[in-house]
Amino acid sequence: MSFALPESLREYIDARVRDGNYGNTSEYLRDLIRRDQHEQAAQRLRDLIADGLASGEGRVVTGDVVASLRERALRADA
């Protein structure tokens, strides 16, 4: 994969590598991507929690409820 960066960004990346935080440019970019993936997953979890809180009163989770949810999930995967 190759792409162009403005000189100011290239200088910033080079400085991060020179500071010893990363062995090379590729390590720095991989770390940024991993951090972005982690943040996206964390945001998805926050969104799901917010949706759950906004969905109303909770309910008691019995064995029947768990079985029903499991069945729905398995059908959705098929």
What's residue 70's pLDDT?
93
Contacts of 29 (CB under 8 A, 6+ apart): 13
Positions in the chain whose pLDDT score sits under 50: none
Q: Which two tokens stand for residue 62?
A: 């019995």
- Residue 78: what pLDDT? 64
As a three-state string, the secondary structure of the chain is CCCCCCHHHHHHHHHHHHCCCCCCHHHHHHHHHHHHHHHHHHHHHHHHHHHHHHCCCCCCCCHHHHHHHHHHHHHHHC
Q: What is the pLDDT of residue 1?
A: 85
